[in-house]
A and B are shown apart, each in its own frame.
Chain A
């Protein structure tokens, strides 16, 4: 019987070593050491041996079982490694082939600038206020201290719906509405669409403007310069200087126009700045006491500054867009550049 057992172990060895699938290996496992296996049948035959031979044979049987178990375990490791290498083979790809993408869209460059401006001002305690595009003459002109005979009121300058209903020419109207409806202090920006009756290469009948207004006790011209400085640096970068020049607006006194160093030549002089080295950015000033008094605000106690900037122009300067018409043509090839 010992001889027989030896033969079984030998045949098990050759069989086990030659299988390459896990399924077949498991079949061999049950054939040799499972419940109804060959080894088990030897176990049952122990009883037929003389008593004194039984322990020795039992021991031999155990050793055989351990040997076969070890063979199976070794082969299992081999098969696993084989399978792993197969996976590596079958899943290998050309890493240079293109990846799967989703369609990519874009925000309009004006919206991008719009958001950036909102974020800069909101980070400094301003809130964003809104108002109607279709306005009355009072909020667009009268409340802003514009003389009755001011040329801006002409049909040739402003779009009208009725005699005293018009499309706002600036978002200063929102300042008036906010001061009418909220108590001081007020610290807002009002971005939005504005309209003027002109249409040529450098003027669009609809354009986008943002106005800032800060009214409180102790707001000064210094605060205005401070704010403009910070804004220009945050918007265009630390290299960009600004300056202000005396000017006239009906609703501010003192009034000023704002220039920044040319974003293209940094002051050297180029075609963008027409050789001056500076670009005009917008208007600014201290809110005229008349404007405050008309709203019932004590102009002795409260002071404020206001400034307005063209967002379309800022977008053009920031992204070096050469022609204003590109902004409203909505060519997808243009728009997608700003994703």
Chain B
């Protein structure tokens, strides 16, 4: 629903800027979904006077005008036929932005134009585009047009929740805001001057469906003059997105916006039999509606009819056969109410949504009909003239008493946890229009006004109290402790799970260690791992230190399992290691170590199993590092003394060793009585966690264009490292190669000694275009040339 700031301001002295009001409404429960500054474009337009005109020498239809905008005289070329000397015009100077259009200095057939004279259509004021807008003679030169016309306003598009039909009119919103903002409310008071002629002499009413039409009132005004509405009325309607039609219709719309209660006006002369009948439609009864469509009705639809035919589809749309035209003299003002579910059904089935059906579908009140009718008649008499007949026809089958609801301050505290004093509760609720009746021990009684049908229980009142107190004024107590490092916590679990998925079993050893194990591992004298955290009272020599390495324990676990007949060993341990030199306590670092031997995959009848080799371990290491978000790392020769020479690698990142992997030197394995090939890895988790690599994954666009695959095979000397070769390919391919997969390597047959053949699959992709064969071939040529130049590699 649309609400205008200026309109609201009529009933309540707002004291807040339009922007401030937006937040006040939203946090009061009337959510502002959009906000529109009316007249913002027009604010840039200046009132100016055309002081001199001359024919354009090169164009018949153009006029060269000299325009005075209050500061200087400017030349403007104008194409409008009504451009004359002396008129006051709407002038847009250079730089003015109207919607998407920016006014620039222009040359028109050789003559320069500094700006533009605008039509009403161009300014969005009306549909008039016959010529430029001509302002009254007394319009002050230099004033902006928005101020002059008084069309500066802010329009809010608000969402009215289904429980608050009272907010479907601007008065309802003003009432709620007055309670929320603690500002006084000034509502219009209507007085009617009736003639002595009773309405009953001219019209009768029969409500045949009291269960569907819960109220129907009609008043008659004779001798009205149908014409255009006065400016203020038109402006007011436009400000909330309604189109002015004629004075009577505009007034019914205006009152609908004010009270939230739709009205309808009939041409009295078109009512057959001078009788209004509210009834159900006949099955397939035809009804010609105001929107020039003839609807086929069903027997559950409610119609307003005269003695012969339906003249309105109740609550939804008026009839083509009875509406107000310029010839209308006597009018009937209908203010009624209908069962909301029936209106919803009819409007839904016919796919009609009018300002009227929007409100009737939301269960508005019977009582409001009367107020809206009086207000409309008052305005019609004032604006369209005429005489109001005495009295009204009113069918109000079952008026209801106002309900009484109690609220316990102790219950408010229970729901809210903070205390709101009784006095404050009374203040809040009376501001909303509730009538405070009496107070007894922990109990406040209120009479609920007719327009708040939603307040039926204590909890409804408590909601209002909390709302007026401000949801965000309710304190919060819990604090985020931020004690644990969640990314590290979960990374640790993920690494464990990764290894379990690779077939590893986790072991847990005592953290006590044997210093002799480091000798067996050839750990050098100066190695920091020899700074033992030594116990004064150990269980024995072999438990005399806190472990500074996990691998010796794992080797012992491997031996235990080999001795118990296990062939395929895959175990890991994730635990702290300890060193102690000058520190008071110890240096404790989380490490992850693992041992593998035997076959990589379980025996399977279809394929031959393979013994674990270095590349299996490397694959596992690469997966672990992915889980730990280590993206940039290099594999180099390891200095660890316990790997078989040439088969041990150190993983470097940021110039630090973060892990190692390789084959355990058989000479060391034998010291632990193991004579089968063993592979091992060790990850310094503490070092990786310290690199602070954890971050939430940020979505990347999925490539729109399909990737293209190309294979290349090269013969190259074994001297050159794989990592260098793919670096060269990557560089030569610029950003076009998204992935390089090595899928074959072999030596021997037809390949000379010291050389081997490598086959790569290159994946080409682009975010911006489909890659053509020609384009890819060109890149491939560059790649091949680079491989030749750098390594003397030959294509196969």
* Chain A interfacial positions (CB closer than 8 Å to B): 97-98, 100-108, 110-111, 115, 125, 127-129, 132-136, 155, 159-162, 165, 167, 178, 182, 185-188, 193, 195, 197, 199, 204-206, 327-333, 335-336, 339
Residue-wise interface mask of B (486-505) relative to A, using a CB-CB cutoff of 8 A (1 in contact, 0 not): 00010001001001111111
The 8 closest A-B pairs by CB, nearest first: A103-B503, A134-B586, A330-B507, A335-B505, A105-B500, A105-B504, A108-B506, A127-B483
B159 interfacial contact with A, CB 8 Å: no
Known: A105-B501, A127-B481, A133-B576. A162 touches B536 (CB 8 A): yes
Question: Do A328 and B508 have beta carbons less than 8 Å apart?
Answer: yes
The chain A residue with its CB closest to the CB of B507 is A330
Q: In the assembled complex, how far is the CB of residue B578 from the closest CB belonging to chain A, in whole angstroms?
A: 6
Residue from the list B482, B483, B601, B606 in contact with A102, Cβ < 8 A = B601
- How many angstroms from the CA of A332 to the CA of B504 in the assembled complex? 10
Sample 12 A-B pairs with CB under 8 A, ordered by A number.
A97-B605, A102-B503, A103-B600, A103-B602, A105-B505, A110-B508, A133-B578, A160-B536, A206-B510, A330-B561, A331-B560, A332-B564
Residue-wise interface mask of B (535-549) relative to A, using a CB-CB cutoff of 8 A (1 in contact, 0 not): 111110001001000
Question: Do B602 and A134 have beta carbons less than 8 Å apart?
Answer: no
- How many angstroms from the CA of A178 to the CA of B580 in the assembled complex? 23
Known: A105-B500, A161-B535, A330-B560. A335 touches B484 (CB 8 A): no
Contacts of A133 in B (CB 8 A): 511, 546, 576, 578, 586, 588
B509 interfacial contact with A, CB 8 Å: yes
- How many angstroms from the CA of A322 to the CA of B534 in the assembled complex? 33
Contacts of B500 in A (CB 8 A): 104-107, 339
Question: Do B502 and A103 have beta carbons less than 8 Å apart?
Answer: yes
Question: Do B508 and A108 have beta carbons less than 8 Å apart?
Answer: yes
Q: In the assembled complex, how far is the CB of residue A137 from the closest CB belonging to chain B, in whole angstroms?
A: 11
Question: Do B535 and A111 have beta carbons less than 8 Å apart?
Answer: no
Contacts of B507 in A (CB 8 A): 108, 330, 335
Known: A159-B538, A205-B539. A328 touches B509 (CB 8 A): yes
Q: In the assembled complex, how far is the CB of residue A99 from the closest CB belonging to chain B, in whole angstroms?
A: 9
Question: Do B605 and A182 have beta carbons less than 8 Å apart?
Answer: no
Question: Do A103 and B536 have beta carbons less than 8 Å apart?
Answer: no
B571 interfacial contact with A, CB 8 Å: yes
Contacts of B560 in A (CB 8 A): 329-331
Counting residue pairs across A and B whose Cβ atoms lie within 8 Å, the total is 147
Q: In the assembled complex, how far is the CB of residue A182 from the closest CB belonging to chain B, in whole angstroms?
A: 6
Q: In the assembled complex, how far is the CB of residue A266 from the closest CB belonging to chain B, in whole angstroms?
A: 30
Question: Do B605 and A98 have beta carbons less than 8 Å apart?
Answer: yes
Question: Do A159 and B537 have beta carbons less than 8 Å apart?
Answer: yes
Question: Do B502 and A111 have beta carbons less than 8 Å apart?
Answer: no
Segment 508-532 of B: residues with Cβ below 8 Å from A: 508-512
Question: Do B571 and A332 have beta carbons less than 8 Å apart?
Answer: yes
- How many angstroms from the CA of A25 to the CA of B569 in the assembled complex? 59
B264 interfacial contact with A, CB 8 Å: no
Contacts of A110 in B (CB 8 A): 508
Q: In the assembled complex, how far is the CB of residue B389 from the closest CB belonging to chain A, in whole angstroms?
A: 72
Q: In the assembled complex, how far is the CB of residue B794 from the closest CB belonging to chain A, in whole angstroms?
A: 39
Contacts of A339 in B (CB 8 A): 500, 505
Question: Do B564 and A111 have beta carbons less than 8 Å apart?
Answer: no
- How many angstroms from the CA of A269 to the CA of B440 in the assembled complex? 60
- How many angstroms from the CA of A128 to the CA of B510 in the assembled complex? 22
Residue from the list B508, B509, B561, B568 in contact with A103, Cβ < 8 A = B568
Question: Do A129 and B505 have beta carbons less than 8 Å apart?
Answer: no
Q: In the assembled complex, how far is the CB of residue B141 from the closest CB belonging to chain A, in whole angstroms?
A: 67
- How many angstroms from the CA of A333 to the CA of B482 in the assembled complex? 40
Q: In the assembled complex, how far is the CB of residue A69 from the closest CB belonging to chain B, in whole angstroms?
A: 36
Question: Do B483 and A129 have beta carbons less than 8 Å apart?
Answer: yes
Question: Do B509 and A165 have beta carbons less than 8 Å apart?
Answer: no
Contacts of B600 in A (CB 8 A): 103
Residue from the list A107, A111, A132 in contact with B588, Cβ < 8 A = A132
Contacts of A155 in B (CB 8 A): 536-537
Contacts of A105 in B (CB 8 A): 499-506, 570
Question: Do B588 and A134 have beta carbons less than 8 Å apart?
Answer: yes
Q: In the assembled complex, how far is the CB of residue A111 from the closest CB belonging to chain B, in whole angstroms?
A: 6
Question: Do B506 and A186 have beta carbons less than 8 Å apart?
Answer: no
Q: In the assembled complex, how far is the CB of residue B355 from the closest CB belonging to chain A, in whole angstroms?
A: 50
Residue from the list B483, B484, B504, B546 in contact with A134, Cβ < 8 A = B546
Contacts of B478 in A (CB 8 A): 125
- How many angstroms from the CA of A206 to the CA of B561 in the assembled complex? 22
Contacts of A182 in B (CB 8 A): 481, 483
Contacts of B568 in A (CB 8 A): 103
The chain A residue with its CB closest to the CB of B536 is A160
Known: A136-B584, A330-B571. A160 touches B535 (CB 8 A): yes
Contacts of A107 in B (CB 8 A): 496, 500, 506
Q: In the assembled complex, how far is the CB of residue A317 from the closest CB belonging to chain B, in whole angstroms?
A: 17
The chain B residue with its CB closest to the CB of A178 is B483
- How many angstroms from the CA of A188 to the CA of B600 in the assembled complex? 42
- How many angstroms from the CA of A162 to the CA of B604 in the assembled complex? 56
Known: A161-B535, A332-B569. A128 touches B606 (CB 8 A): no
Q: In the assembled complex, how far is the CB of residue A164 from the closest CB belonging to chain B, in whole angstroms?
A: 9
Contacts of B505 in A (CB 8 A): 105-106, 108, 332, 335-336, 339
Q: In the assembled complex, how far is the CB of residue A170 from the closest CB belonging to chain B, in whole angstroms?
A: 16
B293 interfacial contact with A, CB 8 Å: no
Residue-wise interface mask of B (695-707) relative to A, using a CB-CB cutoff of 8 A (1 in contact, 0 not): 0000000000000
- How many angstroms from the CA of A327 to the CA of B510 in the assembled complex? 10
Given A103-B570, A110-B508, 19 more A-B residue pairs with CB atoms under 8 Å apart are A98-B605, A105-B505, A106-B500, A133-B546, A136-B585, A159-B537, A160-B537, A161-B536, A165-B584, A167-B535, A188-B481, A188-B483, A193-B511, A195-B511, A206-B512, A330-B509, A332-B564, A335-B506, A335-B507
- How many angstroms from the CA of A215 to the CA of B606 in the assembled complex? 61
- How many angstroms from the CA of A178 to the CA of B483 in the assembled complex? 8
B566 interfacial contact with A, CB 8 Å: yes
Contacts of A329 in B (CB 8 A): 560
Q: In the assembled complex, how far is the CB of residue B560 from the closest CB belonging to chain A, in whole angstroms?
A: 7
Q: In the assembled complex, how far is the CB of residue A321 from the closest CB belonging to chain B, in whole angstroms?
A: 13
Contacts of B735 in A (CB 8 A): none
- How many angstroms from the CA of A85 to the CA of B575 in the assembled complex? 59
- How many angstroms from the CA of A79 to the CA of B554 in the assembled complex? 63
The chain B residue with its CB closest to the CB of A174 is B483
The chain A residue with its CB closest to the CB of B540 is A199
Q: In the assembled complex, how far is the CB of residue B568 from the closest CB belonging to chain A, in whole angstroms?
A: 7
- How many angstroms from the CA of A106 to the CA of B601 in the assembled complex? 16
The chain B residue with its CB closest to the CB of A337 is B505
- How many angstroms from the CA of A128 to the CA of B536 in the assembled complex? 31
The chain B residue with its CB closest to the CB of A98 is B605
Question: Do B481 and A331 have beta carbons less than 8 Å apart?
Answer: no
Question: Do B537 and A206 have beta carbons less than 8 Å apart?
Answer: no
Known: A103-B602, A133-B588, A186-B481. A327 touches B536 (CB 8 A): no
Q: In the assembled complex, how far is the CB of residue B538 from the closest CB belonging to chain A, in whole angstroms?
A: 7
Contacts of B602 in A (CB 8 A): 101-103
Q: In the assembled complex, how far is the CB of residue A136 from the closest CB belonging to chain B, in whole angstroms?
A: 6
- How many angstroms from the CA of A187 to the CA of B506 in the assembled complex? 30
Q: In the assembled complex, how far is the CB of residue A178 from the closest CB belonging to chain B, in whole angstroms?
A: 6
Q: In the assembled complex, how far is the CB of residue B629 from the closest CB belonging to chain A, in whole angstroms?
A: 21
The chain A residue with its CB closest to the CB of B477 is A185
Contacts of A330 in B (CB 8 A): 507-509, 557, 560-561, 571
- How many angstroms from the CA of A160 to the CA of B535 in the assembled complex? 6
- How many angstroms from the CA of A199 to the CA of B542 in the assembled complex? 14
The chain A residue with its CB closest to the CB of B498 is A105
- How many angstroms from the CA of A107 to the CA of B574 in the assembled complex? 11
B381 interfacial contact with A, CB 8 Å: no
The chain A residue with its CB closest to the CB of B554 is A330
Q: In the assembled complex, how far is the CB of residue B390 from the closest CB belonging to chain A, in whole angstroms?
A: 71
Contacts of A193 in B (CB 8 A): 511, 576
Q: In the assembled complex, how far is the CB of residue A101 from the closest CB belonging to chain B, in whole angstroms?
A: 5
Q: In the assembled complex, how far is the CB of residue B746 from the closest CB belonging to chain A, in whole angstroms?
A: 26
Question: Do B481 and A132 have beta carbons less than 8 Å apart?
Answer: no
B71 interfacial contact with A, CB 8 Å: no
Q: In the assembled complex, how far is the CB of residue A53 from the closest CB belonging to chain B, in whole angstroms?
A: 54
The chain A residue with its CB closest to the CB of B500 is A105
The chain A residue with its CB closest to the CB of B501 is A105
